[in-house]
Amino acid sequence: MKTHEYATSYTTDIEDISDEFSVDLIVKMPKIGSQRKKVHGFVTKQFKFRSMIPTTNMNLFNFASTVEKYKDPLEIIQKFYNFMLDQIAKEINDLHTLGAGGDDVDNMNKKRRRMSERKKKKWYTETLNHQLDEKSGRMEEFKSEDDRLVEIGQGLECNAREFI
């Protein structure tokens, strides 16, 4: 996203490529080195510029932070494959460790799901066995209906062997 075009000799363009984790600006200076020297007060160390190297010519940084020329993309893959595999394994391990502490969103969702499944299972078994939870409002309804029937003398009494 280009923000401004500057007509001064200090910069030719500033491009903002910032994201939520870092602030990155690309400041384009005049291409001719002699023009850079003419800019009053221009010191590259003050700006702490990073050098950018195009990857189309197979020049990349190696593990020692030095520029190395590679023959082809296959050589780059072979060089960095084990390193990237180790990094991915470390990230996965960190995610599992983080999840064990209860901070992981997926684990929290799984825990909620398990709790709701347990509650449903408990409700079904109690309903099938005719054992309602005494804390629920439905149980109070049944008790009050039972008490009302007993008060008016219409409560059922059963003397059959299977019900005793």
Give the model confidence (pLDDT) of 103-128 as tens digits.
556 666 677 778 777 777 776 666 66
pTM of this structure:
0.27
User: What is the number of structural domains in the chain?
Assistant: 2
Residue 72, in any domain of the structure: no
At which residue do the structure tokens 């190696």 appear?
62
- For the record, the structure tokens of 133 come out as 């939870």
Residue 74 has phi, psi (to 5 degrees) of -60, -40
pLDDT tens for 23-48 read 777 777 665 555 555 555 555 544 55
User: Within a domain: residue 28?
Assistant: yes
> Is position 42 within any domain?
yes
User: Dihedral (C-alpha) 99, 100, 106, 109: value to the nearest 10 degrees?
Assistant: -140
CA distance 126 to 113: 20
At 5 the pLDDT is 47
The answer to the question of residue 69 being in a domain is no
In a domain, 74, yes or no: no
Residue after which a domain boundary falls, among 52, 67, 82: 52
| 3-class state of residue 3 by DSSP | strand
